[in-house]
Structure 1
């Protein structure tokens, strides 16, 4: 599937949020996907994911399932910033739904690359840094033109039936 978009940073951030939503839905519908997603996002640096920039002019945005399918068993998933941000947003949402998680994209200025990351409880969280990307200065996050969107539950938002595999049913006493 080829999905082509020509929009501003807010529109692109909506696309990033959509990747996170698809990851949440896929994880809720398949416990193996949920387990892999959470394990890889919680794995030590460079074990679950490995930062790799896409080739110039070949920017590919992927949800977690195709990334997993392209990866040999036991190897880290090679992914760039938007793939890792969308995966980690879903993992946070599934395992820590009380946290305020936002997907974010910052474009620092003309001639510079935009970068996707998360804002968790008001603080930047960049999953790419422990996975091999050079740490930008703290002043980078939120600089230039930045768009942030909160991750809400897509199943509730769209009226889908997809239970969270990480929440246990309430027990009556």
Structure 2
């Protein structure tokens, strides 16, 4: 096979005569290959850029999913209801408060006050395994109001359930 191929790549006119220049087959091939290689390189760069964007989008999606899980956990805790079973005073200066156990809480907060609006209420924290609390050093003959709520620690913050209904207890004399 002949290494030279006549190609009408360039024409020139001299004194009404048309002449064609000769171009080597390898030169034509090299030009075409270079063009394809450039296109391939551009396509690869575009693919790399899209892959990077996809990776960033996946990371954002994962972060958003974690945030949704945290919010769902907070919502699950906040919608739980604590049921206050009883508030009784069997001995002078003390009251025993009992409540129903709630799943997936880390502990409970028991509040008690002499005011029905729970202003200046005192608080006692107890573990999740506890379902009763005896409060001591209360005033004899006074009426106390008590309520309970649970909490769960999510990302280092306490998320509280709703309060139970208030119950009143009169302390024995």
TM-score (norm 1): 0.25
**Length-normalised TM-score, structure 2:** 0.25
Whichever structure has more helix as a proportion of its residues is 1
Which gives a bigger RCO, structure 1 or 2 (Cα 8 Å, sep 6+)?
A: 1
In terms of Rg, which structure is larger? 2
